[in-house]
Structure 1
């Protein structure tokens, strides 16, 4: 086992780079489809992806995290056997998922009130069997400090998805069905490449029969499965209510706007991917696990806040400009969804999942998601009856998600027998928030009064350059330390 604390910066940088490219390719494909499809066809395509990601949570049974949990605790001679055992389960689940999509497509189309969805899901049905075996491979790469493989996998796989979709839509002048066929072909290429990278990563490991039984794997994953199911309801009921009660066109507008700022997801996912194997190993081996885990987690938490809050605040002010640039003037209203969802980023920067999993608090993790899902469903349905507003439905999700994250943060402080003020640097958070708000407001006023900035791209570029320059000056004046950013992007050892 080779989890190396001193190497965390380099590994996090590779994960972040891969996540950035993955998000970039996803955005580019959305930009292309938004312009070549009308809202009805585009909404149908987005519904297919929505159904896939919704059911994916159920059919993976919480297994993607098993790599990050068990591999740091497994002797090298058993590694290949353990990975093969988990991968076999993924193939079985993928087959069940594909059959379910094909045979239950009429019912799913009826639920989402879109007759065109039935055929689209049948065409898409081979994808789960192809892609499920690639789930969780980031845990393998993170465990053995090979996250550059994850970055390479994201770049190659997402490139092929983009190329195949572009060829089917632009070159062949196809519709959403040909785009799905292109997605399927690219998925097969992704599977082959993932298997190749897994083989390279594990080529010096042994293949002796693993001591980890299926029972242990399932025992670990079941609480995560329950949490995933509640998380499924929590994260997707917003899409369901909007799709069901507000129509395909509104769903298309919501789908484009209800996205996370890529830099936030990139940074948080990088921290989670790298820290989970480290926390799992320390909690298994070290007598001073609590002290070591808390120190590393606090450090990562504070750095994440410093890096993400200024970006989130800036894009809150420029949400409409971003949507118009990405998807065109017809999706101007998506900017309001984007702004609402950005508010949740002030909470989601907390990488709570890896520490809860590592300390064995998966049951609590599951209960919180259950209560949160119940609250969101009741409140969102009530809001439809009272206000009939898709924006209120979106805002309810953001508020409930924030409350859930705070409750999990309080649990962590209790576990480590500390106070929340020792984990959250309230002074730094307040200072960064105020500075970011003022500078964003000033740059927005500036850009609104310059007539030569006549399109959204110019507004965003000029405003961000000005904002970035002034913020650097302000951070030096108020002594907000960003020296670690240079270490991250220069790939220094420490």
Structure 2
């Protein structure tokens, strides 16, 4: 595996990370503003609208978005153009069904979630799938053809429009939930127009050639993805559903803001997954042996954990101040939920889907999620009946997710013909974790001794102290960030000749 290839992958991941950071920033800004200009009940209702959309999207997309990365990496650009056209038509048809479902079933969904005020916003939101689903593959298309920098531009522009369209009706006109939802739909129309344009940039001056890929083959690939997505939907939405139905809309708002995996960790994992799926697909088609997969896997694990671990530990230590800074003092109780879910980030340092789907083992991925889905639904139901508690539901969700990740780790080790000891760079992971914990503990002590109480001051000073301590600790422990992220640094500061 050449150094140039590794550099290209790292740069692609960098642009994806920038795109994800833009999306994360907009999400945090929107949440921070809406939490302050809406009542808890209104914000909870808006969160439920997005919750319904994101969960039903898994059902109506049928696992097809991953087909872009898998198949475009295996065909010529001429055939790739035909593949994109076929998938766009499929998504438009699925989006039409999705929109009609939201229109007709808004009232039953509202009753099911225990919030009568939810029906009207859902009907207003019904146009969003028609605008967003046809461009679901734009990011994957650009990644496959090495144009990840356009992904960053696309995400930044579309999210800026989202801020303007969602915030203005709420802040300026006091339009509440309905205004925010209508603004979201308007911003979706901008995303649709830009996304359709970008989808075909890689195919400029390329004649369309009919691909041998049929719709039947697309669905044959997507069905395991769809199945695992459905089980993942149950895993991700089960806790929110039981909180909404049995604990109320205000507790749902707390849970929605608090029980949220570290967004920056998701940003890193998303970037790694976006780059690795087409890469693993190419390697699988070329007949690469398991040692090559393991080598690439370990390199990606070290890079992702070197970013995720320090951030996860810091957020766990300073959770109350971070939550209050973002959402206000009314959401302080959510800090405990945030600490619980942060534990997942210590295990979710590698996306398992790319290697499993590239090796044609989508069913194994789906089986692990099925077992986890059954477990979490049963435990959540028992919890709300026996001892309804937000923290208990958070602990159940975290434990079940960790169980799923362990099963996927075992499956990956077996497929790559290695052991758990050989699959992960355990020693390096432990070093990064200990260095992070030591730096964050010292930063927390420093802040406590100064007597600071202002949330922004505590977070800022704590982060600065943590960084000043972590850098020398990581160097002494042998963590070489310059070597890990050399391609990124060379992009930021190119060599002068």
Q: TM-score under structure 2 normalisation?
A: 0.96
Matches within 5 A, 1:5-404: 5-284=6-285, 286-404=286-404
Question: How far did 1:116 drift?
Answer: 0.5
**Distance of 1:489 and 1:218 partners within structure 2:** 41
**Distance of 2:246 and 2:82 partners within structure 1:** 48
What residue number does 1:462 align with?
461
**Distance of 2:489 and 2:233 partners within structure 1:** 34
Question: How far did 1:293 drift?
Answer: 2.3
**Distance of 2:290 and 2:76 partners within structure 1:** 23
Matches within 5 A, 1:388-467: 388-451=388-451, 453-467=452-466
Question: How far did 1:5 drift?
Answer: 4.8
Question: How far did 1:202 drift?
Answer: 2.1
Runs of 4+ in 1 over 3 A off after TM superposition: 3-6
Cα displacement string for residues 243-276 of structure 1 (whole angstroms, at most 9, x for unaligned residues): 1111111111111112222221111111100111
- Contact residue 18 and residue 154 of structure 1 kept, 8 A: yes
Question: How far did 1:19 drift?
Answer: 0.1
Is there any run of 5+ residues in structure 2 with no aligned partner, and where? Answer: none
Question: How far did 1:4 drift?
Answer: 5.1
Is there any run of 5+ residues in structure 1 with no aligned partner, and where? Answer: none
**Distance of 2:83 and 2:426 partners within structure 1:** 43
Q: Secondary structure at the match of 2:347?
A: helix
Question: How far did 1:427 drift?
Answer: 1.7
**Distance of 1:291 and 1:478 partners within structure 2:** 27
**Distance of 1:389 and 1:489 partners within structure 2:** 46
- Contact residue 43 and residue 248 of structure 1 kept, 8 A: yes
**Distance of 1:170 and 1:330 partners within structure 2:** 19
**Distance of 2:330 and 2:290 partners within structure 1:** 52
**Distance of 1:206 and 1:65 partners within structure 2:** 24
What residue number does 1:472 align with?
471
Task: Give the stretch that moved more between structures: 227-236 or 410-419.
Answer: 410-419
Q: Secondary structure at the match of 1:206?
A: coil
**Distance of 1:189 and 1:4 partners within structure 2:** 35
**Distance of 1:230 and 1:204 partners within structure 2:** 41
- Contact residue 17 and residue 267 of structure 2 kept, 8 A: yes
User: Structure 1 residues 271 and 307, CA, compared in 2 at 3 Å: closer, same or farther?
Assistant: same
Cα displacement string for residues 388-428 of structure 1 (whole angstroms, at most 9, x for unaligned residues): 11111111111111111111111111111111112212222
Question: How far did 1:472 drift?
Answer: 0.5
**Distance of 1:197 and 1:47 partners within structure 2:** 31
Question: How far did 1:210 drift?
Answer: 1.5
**Distance of 2:21 and 2:396 partners within structure 1:** 28
Q: Secondary structure at the match of 2:116?
A: coil
Question: How far did 1:171 drift?
Answer: 2.0
